[in-house]
Amino acid sequence: MATRMTVTRFAPSPTGRLHVGNIRTALHNWMYAKGNGGRFLLRIDDTDAERSEEHFVDAIRADLAWLGMEPDGEVRQSARFALYESRFAALVAAGRIYPAYETAQELDLKRKVLLGRGLPPVYDRAALRLSEAERAALEAQGIRPHWRFKLDHDAPIRWDDAVRGPQSFDPATMSDPVIRRADGSWLYMLPSAIDDIDMGVTQVVRGEDHVSNTALQLQMFDAMGATPPGFAHAALLTGAEGKLSKRLGSLGVDHFREVGLEAQSVRALLARIGTSDPVEPVADMAPLIATFDFARFGRAPARFDEAELAQLNARIVHQLPFEAVADRLPAGMGAAEWDAVRPNLSTVGEAADWWGVIEGPVDAEIAGEDRAYLAEAAAAAAAIDWTGDPWHALTDRLKGTSGRKGKALFLPLRLALTGRAHGPDMGQLLPLIGQARAVARLGAAAG
């Protein structure tokens, strides 16, 4: 028997920008598909015409492209209504979907009564007890039904979750889910199951907030005579403060790009947080994909910390070769300049600041007692050989002539030459500044 190709899907609704939790879900699906030689599909869940906006569809595509996770195919739910209607009609004919006529206020009252009695607020299936005549009378009054999927109460719903392990739900403790509103619009549950069948999805990877949905959808797969996909429900993200953070909902690709982060830093962090593997500054996705395993996922909420992401980004930037960043550097900045400043960068964008230091001019604040020393340094810089290692040639000469050493020797030179007290190794930086600019800066700092 041939093995089915692995197919995963990411299914965002175009009602807003992707946030960090969405990105993590997309990444898990993408990594699982790529690690198993499969396909990663994008499904735009745009059945809610009032809230869906086309510019958010464009933003979702752009965000995935920036993250290097472009899908192998795309479908839109708004183009699949005929398929939903066909499946819906078959399930109605089979008695697995039925009309219900209660208003939202009536359903809310029923829930409150049950809760007041200490009972779970499970729908009582009153609509199933209506006769044809009673249904006709309600519709004659202009009451249009919503539609529920009828759960089979005969056996527990069970599956082996790739993250959570064996799962079991008693369907008798669950309400028959509403799958279609009275105005004919679709809710999430049934179209999603229909799409997973039609798209050949073999593994659904999503957050643990969907666990109860999976129990309901497993019965929908069975009612449609389909083999369900496997399921993996990852623990949700929490903020750095240790509880669910509203801020996580505002952090997305636009924010990460604005602060200058690398896409690989976002991927490297989100691939590992919540697993037993350490977060590492891996500049290539291949080793992360190779070790991706749901068995390594923990059950505890995964902690997302922007400070950790920033630190990881810096460590990844320090590994990037010139060729990977050349198109993002200032005009004229070459490999030597990049190699010199790279260890001091938190983001690639900061290279422009150091290019300004190399090119000049610089503004140095010099203590009065250092001015004579810098005049001596200017004369020494003009006299030394610049073909080898000018920084050590300069400091060795000044050590002998000035009697200075340590911080008193080096710091005034760094301040005069760069305008900063800290920065890249001066042995690499000084040749890039060059003799003429160095002599001029030292002379200017001497006053």
* Residues flagged as binding site for ATP: 246
| Residue whose structure tokens are 């009032």 | 50
Distance, CA of 329 to CA of 87 (rounded, Å):
55
Numbered residues of the known binding site: 246
Distance, CA of 49 to CA of 267 (rounded, Å):
32
At 310, the amino acid letter reads A
Task: Identify the H or E element spanning 75.
Answer: strand 73-76
Distance, CA of 112 to CA of 171 (rounded, Å):
21
CB atoms inside a 10 Å sphere around CB 256: 22
Say whether the peptide bond before residue 361 is cis (omega within 30 degrees of 0): yes
All residues at 6 or more sequence positions from 104 whose CB lies less than 8 Å from its CB, including other chains: none
Distance, CA of 143 to CA of 220 (rounded, Å):
27
| Residue whose structure tokens are 């960090």 | 20
What tokens does 278 get?
A: 């350490």
Length of the chain: 447
Backbone angles phi, psi at 200, to 5 degrees: 70, 30
Reference 289, options 299, 301, 298, 277; nearest CA is: 277
